A and B are shown apart, each in its own frame.
Chain A
């Protein structure tokens, strides 16, 4: 753990300026990841995980009025302070991204080969011919069937799984140190999902590249991630190793998420657990603990005072006032819950 982290995010805040005022979608996120690690970011829709991941390479710069606060350090450089032209040299080169829906994420009017070569030629001095050869090599690496033929095909001619392999080939073109995968398997069939996950893990081992894996699927996390950050309303509420996540989840929200996983071996008559209530809008966030409105254990302290980050054990931190009492069974669920 003594080596310099690959990515070090400190107190990141992303604000959007809308007609109804400033909305803070990412609210003080801090974490770091080591080279070669696969880190999962988990949370419900709207928890800010996508915005957070796009803030890392400042993809939101081009959207309407956005501002960032804090630091995103990659190899000692704070990405949030870089000029636009310097930032462009990082995107697609040191840090790449793979998105959720592969069909709409590929440009429909250029061939697969052109789109991979574009990344290469943007960051490396390559001739058209060399770029094409490298593109073929990348496609082959993703395990796409008959890669030579794919080079000259258009995205709409490929299946969803093949499209996602192409996206991965584009992302890996310049051998990035960090791959941000934003729900890369959500839009795919279950069998294809497994293949893509396997591919990502394999590439992570082979190339030693760090992967920040954004998902809402805890099953996926258990399969591939070394550690997990659970996000709720723009904040990381609990972070731990994957083993700790399943063995000893401490935050009531994380516990709720785990209990919401449908179990194949459970009692079929038992109702599926759901976390009561809905995610509050970013416009009226609770002022104390973000989860207080839905937490079965919340009291007035939770509703009024934001909990600090507590360290439960090595590598396991969370934001909850009462996690010790809850885990010792000393605190009864009140109010909501099951």
Chain B
């Protein structure tokens, strides 16, 4: 587990939105999808997913419906709302700007100043 990175605060919501944007998923599925799309590089405790999910539902960014999973079990499936889609776009832009800025700042060599 030593090669997994801790999540920055606030980034879990972004990851959830991104995972769900690829198609409706239940909670466990979201976790697997995040692992898949991040190359299993992020450390997320499984239960920590749920407060985030409920918060996003309350903010109207996600909507949830009960259904049956591929394992033939009852599960709650999440999908993006229009507001969620908009938020994902904004947050992605924000993140890219931030990442570029931080990356640029960290890459500066003494002679470039």
Do A and B belong to a common assembly? Answer: no
Residues of A within 8 A of B (CB): none
Residues of B within 8 A of A (CB): none
